[in-house]
Structure 1
Amino acid sequence: MARPLVIAIDGPAAAGKGTLAKQLAAHYSLPYLDTGLLYRAVGRKAAAQGLDLDDPQAMEPLARDLDTGDIDEGALRGREAGELASRVAAHEGVRRALTAFQRDFADRPTGALLDGRDIGTVICPNADVKIFVVASAEVRARRRTDELNAKGRAVVYETILEEVRQRDDRDSNRAVAPLKPAEDAHLLDTSELSIEGVFREACRLIDAHIQT
C-alpha cells in the first residue's frame, strides 16, 4: 500500500496558489485545506466583535475557540477578509492555536494537500512535495484588480498594488512564521504562465516525486 502523499503549497496573495491547490487536490484525490480561511475566520470574528486586531491577547482566544462552523468559504473571500487575516496571523498565540488544527488535517491516512504561507516551513516541514508559488507584485495586483472589477467592485490598480506590497512586507517580516520558501521547496513563478500551464508544471514536479 502506497504511503499517504502530503503536498504543501505556499506563496503570497494573488500568486495563484489557491486555484492551483484546488486543481491538484482534485487531480490527486487528496483532502484539501485552504489554511488562510482559518485566519480569515479569526479576523472576521474579531472585527464583528469590535476587537482590536492588533491586540494578541484578544485574538488568541478567538483562534483557540475556532470550529468548523466558523469556516464559511463564501463569507471569508474578498480583499477585506484577506487584510484581516494578515493582521491576526502576525500574532504568535493565534498561529500556535491554529497549528494543531492544520497538522491534524495533514496527518490523516488519506494524505492531504494544504495551501497557505507557512505550510512547508512550519505546519508540514516533512511534506512530500513543497511548492512555493510566486508572481511579481505588479502581476498579482493586476489579477486582483481585474477580478474585483469583474465582480462589479470599482477598484484602482495603483491602490491594489500598494496593498499587495504592504501585505507582502507584513507577511514576510513578521516575527513568527514569516512568508518564505522552505529550503527544499520548488519555486513556481506564475507571472507568465496560464492557469493550465501552472497546473501542468506542478503535476510534473509531483509526478517526479511519486515515481522515485
Structure 2
Amino acid sequence: MDLNELRNLDFQTIGLTSLGTRLVIFTFVFILIVGAVIYFDTMPQKEMLERSQNEEQTLLQTVDRKQRLAANLEAYEAQIEEMETRFGELLRQLPNKREAENLIDNVAETSLSNGLTNEQIRPGEETLHDFYAEMTYYLTLRGTYEELTDFISDAANLPRIVTLHNPAIKPNEDVTDDGPRKLSMKIEAKTYRYLERDEQGGGQ
C-alpha cells in the first residue's frame, strides 16, 4: 500500500488504485457504515428495549400487587364488616338529644352516691362534629380523696359514654378537725350525643 497513493486519492479513479489501497478504503467505508447503523438504528432500539423491560417490570409489580389484594379481598371485607359492627355498637352508646340532657344527672347522682357534695355543675357550649355533638359540663365537687377517686372510677363505667378531663384537686377551704380531710375538685365532664339527621353536616 502506497501512502502517497492514499494522500492523492481520486474517487473517480479509485478502481485503478492498488489492492491494498482499495482494501483500506473498503475497511474504512465498512466501519463508517457499521458505526452509522449502530448509532442510528441499534442504539435507539436498545434504549427502546430497556424502556420496554422497565415498563414490563412495573406492570408485573402492579399485577402482583393487585393479585395479592384480590387474594385478601375476603379478609378485607370481613374486617370492614367487623368495623361497621363495632361502629354501630359505639353509636348505640351515644344518647339522643333528650337522653344527653339527662345524662349529666347520672353523673351528679354518681357523685352523690360516692358521698361527694356537688358545689357547682355548670354547662358549657356544645361542639358539633360530623355525626356527633360534644357537650361539656364543669363540675366542682367536695369530698375525701377516696370519695373523689371512687367517683372518677364509677363515672368511667357509666353505660353511656362520659369522659372526664382536667381534674384539679386542692384542700377544701372549710377545714375541720373531725373526720377525714375534705378536698375540692374541679373537673370537666364531657358527654356525647348522636346528631339527628337534620343536624348533620353543620359541624364546626
What's the TM-score bracket when you normalise by the shorter of the two chains? Answer: under 0.3
Q: Work out which structure has the larger RCO, using CA pairs closer than 8 Å and 6 or more positions apart in sequence.
A: 1
TM-score where L is the length of structure 2: 0.24
TM-score where L is the length of structure 1: 0.23
